[in-house]
């Protein structure tokens, strides 16, 4: 390169938290490919060596030491004359503190180290717990170009970027670990626009890809020119190496060549987030596949479809677990769904275990009436069977409860809540219906499942029921899902008061009832398996309420 031109490779990679050696290999491969394409510099995402989010791994001295050793090894490898490297890693400073750092590596050396200044401590982030705050950074010199290296949250306020501009940065390269939720790409774009307007500098945004526990990182790396025009756009939900050519024109830099991927719409993005989160959870944790109960209802059907899209039909095992309340319609629908997805499908009746529990409990239950206790025995019998199959064959049990049901406790501990992961945990019931219909009409690239109607239409249109007693429907105990979901969205996503929700046309008594159900189900949610974050406020890290809680909004 000359000081007036350079070729940049943006490495949108899928690291695994804690796999320092494996993550370094991803970086090596990206650098080799970048070298083959004539790149001068490779930009990686935040904490690429550790994987993001590393949480309390950062408190282990051995882990930080390993990250630093591998970073130094990568630095020595750049003596080969190939591209330089912007590398994210935990780093222990001379003061003994551990920082969220980015290294500029070139010509066999670590040329510069910069620390993250603005540590996020909200929503799913708690970096102040494990990292020290760095000083305001200055730019670094890379082969005659002065580059600013703010790290992720550093661009969500103006202080860091303004400091870099004032101290001579010519353009901003930003390593990010920005997780997905609905409309997140637009939110990022607006932040970047603000920084570009304030500094007058081009900004390159490199984001991580992949699932990490409940978080999904969607990639979608991009760049803006100083005039706010789009310089390049990389895809969401897939690993990629983006090559762009930059030229100095006057006092700014212009991207002469870069790709322009089309971003998915909201439905496709939500579906791909669920699929990517499930795939990485299963594969990164070493499971050979998944097993789930296929009831003939919408929730298990959409989970089966997502599992096939994520893993392939050969790694998905569905089991119908009928009891005397299971309708012939449900049996038919479950079999049709399994057939369309091409997955293994078995039937294991639960009459014997349920009646066995009933017999064992007959003495202590004498004189009592049947109630939800007997209903829960059915769910728990199913849970035991699914876990037994999982134990025997190693496949992880998928749970299938949606956010609406988990909000109000419409789920059974040690029954349908049994399992290792839930791809629809953060989707409301109305979203489940909507996405099921969407998937029947769409099969985007990158999915492993078949095209066409993978979820039988009868499953989508029929009245929802748990089938735990005669003629049961969900609306026996819950309001219609469009009403319930609107109230829950107000309570969970927006923390609205009862009075504010009432103004939307809902009765005060119903709002009070839903609020009460939401609060008293907290103990169940604490015991639920992880699942993909889709909304801005998922249960867990985003929304943290006490289990013991007597507050009720009676304003």
At 431 the pLDDT is 96
Q: Does residue 44 sit in the same domain as residue 13?
A: yes
- 304 & 371 share domain: yes
Is 554 a domain residue? no
Domain end among 197, 225, 254: 254
Neighbours of 503 (CB within 10 A): 10
Per-residue confidence (pLDDT) for residue 542, from 0 to 100: 80
pLDDT in tens, 47-61: 999 999 999 999 999
Average pLDDT over residues 232-259: 94
User: Does residue 133 lie in a domain region?
Assistant: yes
Same domain, 285 and 378: yes
Asked if residue 395 is part of any domain, the answer here is yes
In 3D space, the residue among 348, 289, 332 whose CA is nearest the CA of residue 313 turns out to be 289
Give binding residues for L-glutamine as ranges. 122, 178, 184
Asked if residue 2 has pLDDT above 80, the reply is no
Residue 445 covered by a domain: yes
Whether residue 303 lies in the annotated active site: no
Spatial distance between the Cα atoms of 503 and 487, rounded to a whole number of angstroms: 11
- Domains held by the chain: number: 2
| Domain extent for 407 | 267-470
Q: 279 and 397: one domain?
A: yes
Q: Is the pLDDT of residue 79 over 90?
A: yes
* Mean pLDDT in residue range 491-506: 93
Residue 290 and residue 216 share a domain: no
Model pLDDT for residues 165-212, shown as the tens digit of each residue: 999 999 999 999 999 999 899 999 999 999 999 999 999 999 999 999
The CATH number that applies at residue 194 is 3.60.110.10
User: Bridge partners of 87?
Assistant: 103
What is the pTM for the complete model shown?
0.94
Spot the catalytic one: 67, 111, 127, 152.
Answer: 152
Q: Is residue 248 assigned to a domain?
A: yes
Q: Which listed residue (67, 111, 116, 255) is catalytic?
A: 116
- Of the candidates 46, 153, 165, 214, the residue annotated as catalytic is 46
Q: Report the CATH number that the domain containing residue 290 is assigned in CATH.
A: 3.40.50.620
Strongest mean pLDDT among 246-260, 273-287, 410-424, 512-526: 273-287
In a domain, 415, yes or no: yes
Binding residues: 122, 178, 184, 293-300, 376, 400, 405, 524
The confidence score (pLDDT) of residue 554 equals 84
Same domain, 199 and 237: yes
What is the mean predicted confidence (pLDDT) over 499-507? Answer: 93
Specify which residues 2 forms β-bridges with: 5
Res 537 pLDDT > 90:
no
Q: Does 284 participate in catalysis according to the annotation?
A: no
The verdict on whether 198 is a catalytic residue reads no
**Statement to judge: residues 371 and 320 lie in one domain:** yes
String of b and e for 440-479 (b: at least 16 CB within 10 Å)?
A: beeebeebbbeeeebbbeebbebebbbbbbeeeebeeebb
- 196 and 327, same domain (yes or no): no
Instruction: Give the residue ranges of the annotated binding site for deamido-NAD(+).
Output: 376, 405, 524
CA angle 218, 280, 64 (to 5 degrees): 85
pLDDT digits (tens, 9 = 90+) for 95-111: 999 999 999 999 999 99
pLDDT digits 0-9 by tens, 387-406 = 999 999 999 999 999 999 99
Q: Are residues 222 and 308 in the same domain?
A: no
pLDDT of 187: 93
């Amino acid at each position: 390169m000359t000081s007036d031109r350079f070729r940049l490779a943006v490495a949108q990679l899928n690291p695994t938290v804690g796999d320092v050696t494996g993550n370094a290999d991803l970086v090596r491969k990206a650098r080799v490919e970048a070298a083959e394409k004539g790149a001068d510099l490779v930009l990686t995402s935040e904490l690429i060596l550790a994987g993001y989010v590393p949480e309390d791994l950062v408190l282990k001295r051995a882990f930080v030491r390993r990250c630093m050793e591998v970073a130094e090894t990568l630095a020595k490898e750049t003596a080969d004359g190939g591209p330089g490297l912007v590398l994210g890693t935990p780093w222990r400073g001379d003061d003994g503190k551990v920082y969220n750092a980015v290294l500029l590596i070139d010509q066999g050396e670590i040329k510069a180290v910069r620390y993250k200044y603005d540590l996020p401590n909200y929503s799913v982030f708690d970096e102040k717990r494990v990292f020290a705050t760095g000083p305001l950074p200055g730019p670094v010199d890379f082969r005659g170009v002065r580059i600013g290296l703010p790290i992720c949250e550093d661009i969500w306020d103006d202080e860091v970027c303004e400091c870099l501009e004032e101290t001579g940065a010519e353009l901003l390269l930003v390593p990010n670990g920005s997780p997905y939720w609905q409309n997140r790409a637009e939110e990022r774009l607006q932040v970047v626009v603000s920084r570009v307007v304030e500094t007058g500098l081009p900004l390159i945004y490199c984001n991580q890809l992949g699932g990490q526990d409940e978080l999904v990182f969607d990639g979608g790396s991009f760049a803006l020119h100083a005039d706010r025009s789009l310089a390049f756009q990389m895809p969401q939900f897939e690993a990629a190496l983006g090559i762009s050519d930059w030229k100095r024109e006057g006092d700014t830099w212009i991207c002469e060549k870069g790709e322009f991927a089309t971003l998915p719409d909201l439905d496709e993005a939500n579906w791909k987030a669920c699929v990517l989160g499930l795939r990485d959870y299963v594969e990164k944790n070493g499971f050979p596949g998944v097993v789930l109960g296929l009831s003939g209802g919408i929730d298990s059907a959409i989970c089966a479809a997502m599992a096939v899209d994520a893993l392939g039909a050969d790694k998905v095992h569905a089991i119908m677990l009928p009891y005397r309340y299971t309708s012939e319609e449900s049996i038919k629908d479950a079999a049709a769904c399994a057939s369309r997805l091409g997955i293994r499908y078995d039937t294991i009746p639960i009459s014997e275990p349920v009646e066995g529990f009933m017999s064992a409990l007959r003495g202590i239950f004498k004189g009592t009436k049947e109630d939800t206790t007997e209903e829960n025995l059915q769910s728990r019998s199913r849970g035991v069977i699914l876990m037994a199959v999982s134990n025997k064959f190693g496949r992880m049990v998928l749970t299938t409860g949606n956010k609406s049901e988990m909000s109000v406790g419409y789920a059974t501990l040690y029954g349908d809540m049994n399992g290792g992961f839930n791809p629809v945990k953060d989707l409301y019931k109305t979203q489940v219906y909507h996405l099921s219909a969407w998937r029947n009409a769409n099969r985007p690239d990158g999915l492993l499942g078949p095209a066409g109607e993978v979820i039988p239409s009868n499953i989508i249109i029929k009245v929802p029921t748990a089938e735990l007693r005669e003629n049961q429907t969900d609306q026996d105990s819950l309001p219609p899902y469009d009403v319930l979901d609107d109230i829950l969205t107000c309570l969970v996503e927006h923390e609205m008061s009862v009075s504010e929700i009432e103004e939307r046309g809902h009765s005060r008594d119903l709002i009070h009832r839903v609020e009460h159900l939401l609060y008293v189900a907290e103990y169940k949610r604490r015991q639920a398996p992880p699942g993909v974050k889709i909304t801005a406020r998922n249960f867990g890290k985003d929304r943290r309420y006490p289990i013991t809680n007597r507050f009720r909004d009676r304003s």
